[in-house]
Structure 1
Amino acid sequence: MAEVLLQAERLCAWYGAAQILFDVDLEVRRGEVVALMGRNGAGKSTTLKALMGLVPRRKGGVRFMGHDLSRAEPHECARLGLGFVPENRRIFTDLTVRENLAVGRQPPRRWPDGSAAPAWTEAPLFALFPNLAEMPERPGGQMSGGEQQMLTVARTLMGNPYLVLLDEPSEGVAPVIVEQMAQAILALKAQGVSVLLSEQNMHFAELVSDRACVLEKGQIRFAGTMAELAGDEGARRAYLGV
């Protein structure tokens, strides 16, 4: 069985006085895509932000590549090889595509056994996202929402992450971009990059994911293979409304 890269145990998180996550347990293994699913407001984005240290984690543990991230700051998580693609994209609108990619650059990494981890430069990223290859000098602010989404993923990959936290990649973009995003995630998996993605789109999740964890009101209500979730009509109706 593949090694566990990321593990959360009894993870709790708050926004101010409001508790959002309640004892969330999950793990992501090497070369695996895990879908974190649930309705709007279930706690999906908060889970990713809590793992990355972007919201207070007052209880529970987070381990990544053998490191305790329970009190780590976001920049410390990124330096260890944990990538984060936010839902709101947050590209630099005044910088070109090439300049946005340069901002995310980190040195190549190696796995604990000494073998080379996936390394990303501009050329393979342009092959992965042909739309970006056609506009390398275009400012980020002059791109469509879907193109900005691709750029955000590509910029994160310039950090050569072992694992990417990907927040709502199919939300609010054209169907053709959704299809390209699915192909990109499968390409990442083939390279050995792990992905934990927050997603509501059942069809999209089925295309790319090995396993699924379903959140409702900040608690894990279902955990199993993607095929098990697809075949469990009761769970899908109760927690996803599909």
Structure 2
Amino acid sequence: MAGHSKWANIKHKKGKQDAVKGKIFTKFAKAIAVAAKEGGADPDNNAKLRDIIAKAKAQNMPNDNIERAIKKGAGELEGSHYEEIIYEGYGPGGVAVIVETLTDNKNRTAGDVRHIFDKNGGNLGTSGCVSFLFKRKGQLMIEKDENVDEDKLMLLAIDAGAEDFIVEEEGYEIITDPNDFGEVREALESENINFVSAEIAMIPTTQVALSAEDVKKMQKMLDMFEEHDDVQEVYHNWDMPEDME
């Protein structure tokens, strides 16, 4: 997989998130509440909750918001019931797309997701139609910095349980088994390593290049998903150009 595509995708997502912080916090609050409901309110005993909190803090989500979301999930405060639903489909040019949602209204969300696919030259598929093109892995992205020693970082990551350490022009990509993600992330955090991105992600095993016309459609599709309140994450195998904004 082309390294520049991963960095282009991350920078694009970060730019969108920075522009709509309030909406991003709302999405994190949903995810935190669901994780707390499913696995308990103590992050020390709930790896999924711990990882989501770390991701929310990386986006500067206030601690009060995080605590409120945990209490809603634990039933200490009144809150909506959210269900996780994953949709799979194809974008323009045959790009594989996975859309992870948290919703309190399955019919509404399904209709909206289908509309976004249809409006941008894609189509909603059946469960499993594209997921085989991805692997679920922990992924930590770190930009190159004069204060980060490459050899030391690699040894630290591998010793903590990382599966792979990839050096690219923009920075470093560390891949882990999902079960080892939290331990690797915490080991790096203890050394004051800053992440551009740190998450459990669906990483594509192949990539698809698009024509100029389809690039516009795909970009619009991603923007519409990003702006939808029920959509938590969107994964795709589009080989995004390095100069994407």
TM-score (normalizing by structure 2): 0.25
Comparing both structures, which one devotes a greater share of its residues to helix? 2
In our comparison, the structure showing a higher alpha carbon Rg is: 2
Comparing both structures, which one devotes a greater share of its residues to strand? 1
